[in-house]
């Protein structure tokens, strides 16, 4: 099949306000991404309308009909189905090059030209996590946290900066990164890796200097955004840390005995005690890297007929049975590269 096969495409599942979504879409399309697939996880007509008119975005509203009235409860399961469906939709689109699935609090940091030259079948971008601070001047975190070495973890744990010497205590979120892959109907995503259905490894390179930037609560405002809708009643079954922070947030934000200023300060303290990173410490141990985000790689729009083809394919797949698009869990004892 002829075609340029060189457009970088992302797929995301989104449930956020219009201002946030606009900011994120505009920014993503400056980082080297050429086209975005957005699956709306809930009913937001204003967001949907804006996305629908955007030439470099294709949007799907995943309502009950999309799920054939059998919507998977875990969020990652829905994300994977949407991402795998997108692989099928993009497979025959001539200009489609690679597909990454990313979240609203993530960005790809890479040099597009170099990536295109490498021309891999699949590539994993490891995580850099934003250093958390109450306020960063300029609206972007100045630093990101590198992957630590084991010695770093021991030192940080010994000094009380992290609770245990492991990656989960060091990173607020996941740390394995994300894998981008050439779209094909046989390929499936897992959270951090890709495989060929039913369970074959796909050779995946890890290009140098290319990362998945994870922002997650990088500043107080983002922290507040993230926890704003949390309800303690819905916390049952969540891991302790989420339940604890979420419940604390909810309680302090609505505390009957405090003024608004006192509530805000209490939430700020919650952020300080649980999220803020110790910047001088990280710097001393060589764990900081300057924010590598490139905003000078504008989107190269797909040809109009390719966008039309893509959106037609998406329409065709809208109400199919989603079962074949679920991700297979890793077999115990057989781990593909980069997967947990």
Partner 1 sequence: MTEGRVVTVSTIRDTPANVGRFVERNLTSGVDHMIVFLDQQQPAVRKMLADNPDVSVVSTDKGWWRGEKPKAVEPRQIANANVANAILATLPSVEWVVHLDGDEAMSFDRADLAACDADVVRIPTLEAASQRTWRGGRPAYFKRLASTTQLRAMAAYGAIDEPTLDAYYRGHVAGKTAIRPHLSHRVGVHAAYDEAGAKIEPAQAGDAQLLHYESWCLEDFVDRWRDFEPRKAKRSNHRERRKLIGLAAYSIANHPDLDDKTRQRYLEQLYDDNVADDLRALEWFGLLVPSPVGEPAAPRRIEQPQLEEMRALLRAMREVGKDAFAQEAPAGSMAAALEQAASALEPGHAARVRSVVERHRSTVAGADA
Partner 2 sequence: MSAPQGQVTPDRIVTATTLRDTPDNVDRFVRRTLGSGVDHAIVFLDADQPKVRAALEANPHVTVVRTGKDYWLGDRPSVVLDRQMANASVAAAALAEVPSVRWVFNIDGDEVLDIDRAALARIETDAVRLGTLEAVAKRKWRRSEPEMFKRVPSSNELHALSALKLIDAPEISAFFRGHSLGKVGVRPGADVRFRLHTAYRLPEVEIEETVQEDMHLLHLESWCLADFVSRWQGYRADRPKHRPHRDERLGAAYSLIDGDTSIGAAERDKRLGELFDRLVADDRAVLKRFDLQVRVRRREVAPRPLDRSDVAALEAALARIGAESKEGYRPTVLEAEQKAASAV
- Please give the residue ranges that form the binding site for partner 2 (CB under 8 A): 232, 243-245, 247-252, 255-258, 262, 266, 269-270, 273-274
Minimum Å gap between C-beta 165 and partner 1 is 7
Smaller CB distance to partner 1: residue 18 or 157? 157
Rounded to a whole number of angstroms, the CA Rg of the chain reads 20
Q: What residues have CB less than 8 Å from 291, skipping those under 6 apart? A: 140, 141, 142, 143, 144
d(CA 289, CA 135): 18
Residue 154: name its binding partner from partner 1, partner 2, none (Cβ under 5 to 8 Å by kind). Answer: partner 1
Smaller CB distance to partner 1: residue 166 or 234? 166
The residues in 263-282 that bind partner 1, with binding defined as CB under 8 A, are none
**Could you say whether residue 289 binds partner 1 (CB under 8 A)?**
no
Residue 218: name its binding partner from partner 1, partner 2, none (Cβ under 5 to 8 Å by kind). Answer: none
# chain residues binding partner 1, by CB under 8 A: 13
Range 43-47 contact pairs with CB under 8 angstroms and sequence separation of 24 or more = 44/15, 44/18, 46/18, 47/14, 47/16, 47/17, 47/18, 47/21
User: What mask, x for binding partner 1 by CB under 8 A, covers residues 137 to 166?
Assistant: -------------xxx-xx-xxxx----x-
**Could you say whether residue 298 binds partner 1 (CB under 8 A)?**
no
Residue 232: name its binding partner from partner 1, partner 2, none (Cβ under 5 to 8 Å by kind). Answer: partner 2
d(CA 102, CA 191): 10
**Could you say whether residue 286 binds partner 1 (CB under 8 A)?**
yes
The enclosing H or E element of 306 equals helix 304-317
Nearest to 191 by CA among 83, 87, 71: 83
Smaller CB distance to partner 1: residue 158 or 298? 158
Smaller CB distance to partner 1: residue 124 or 145? 145
Cα 261 off chain centre by = 33
- Sheet with strand 178-181: strands edge to edge: 57-61, 35-40, 7-14, 96-101, 178-181, 122-125, 204-205
Q: Which residues bind partner 1 (CB under 8 A)?
A: 150-152, 154-155, 157-160, 165, 284-286
């Amino acid at each position: 099949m002829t075609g340029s096969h060189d457009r970088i495409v992302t797929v995301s599942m989104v449930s956020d306000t219009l201002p946030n979504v606009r900011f994120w879409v505009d920014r993503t399309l400056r980082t080297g991404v050429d086209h975005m697939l957005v699956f709306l996880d809930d009913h937001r007509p204003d967001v949907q309308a804006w996305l629908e008119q955007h030439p470099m975005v294709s949007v799907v509203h995943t309502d009950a009909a999309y799920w054939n009235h059998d919507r998977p409860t875990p969020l990652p399961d829905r994300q994977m189905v949407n991402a795998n469906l997108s692989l099928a939709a993009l497979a025959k689109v001539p200009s489609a090059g690679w597909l990454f699935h990313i979240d609203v609090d993530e960005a790809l940091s890479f040099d597009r030209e170099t990536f295109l030259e490498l021309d891999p079948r699949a590539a994993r971008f490891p995580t850099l996590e934003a250093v958390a601070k109450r306020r960063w001047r300029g609206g972007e975190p100045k630093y990101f946290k590198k992957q630590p070495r084991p010695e770093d973890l021991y030192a940080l744990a010994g000094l009380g900066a992290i609770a245990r010497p492991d990656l989960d205590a060091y990173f607020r979120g996941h740390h394995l990164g994300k894998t981008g892959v050439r779209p094909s109907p046989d390929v499936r995503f897992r959270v951090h890796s890709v495989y060929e259905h039913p369970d074959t490894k796909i050779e995946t390179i890890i290009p140098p200097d290319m990362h998945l930037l994870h922002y997650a609560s990088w500043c107080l405002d983002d922290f507040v955004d993230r926890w704003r809708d949390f309800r303690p009643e819905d916390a049952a079954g969540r891991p302790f840390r989420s339940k604890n922070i979420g419940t604390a947030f909810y309680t302090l934000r609505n505390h009957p005995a405090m003024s608004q200023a006192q509530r805000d300060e209490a939430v700020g303290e919650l952020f300080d005690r649980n999220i803020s990173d110790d910047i001088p410490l990280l710097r001393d141990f060589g764990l900081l890297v300057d924010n590598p985000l490139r905003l000078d790689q504008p989107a190269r729009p797909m040809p109009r007929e390719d966008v039309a083809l893509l959106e037609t394919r998406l329409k065709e797949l809208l109400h199919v049975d989603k079962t074949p698009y679920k991700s297979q869990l890793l077999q115990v004892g057989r781990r593909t590269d980069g997967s947990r």
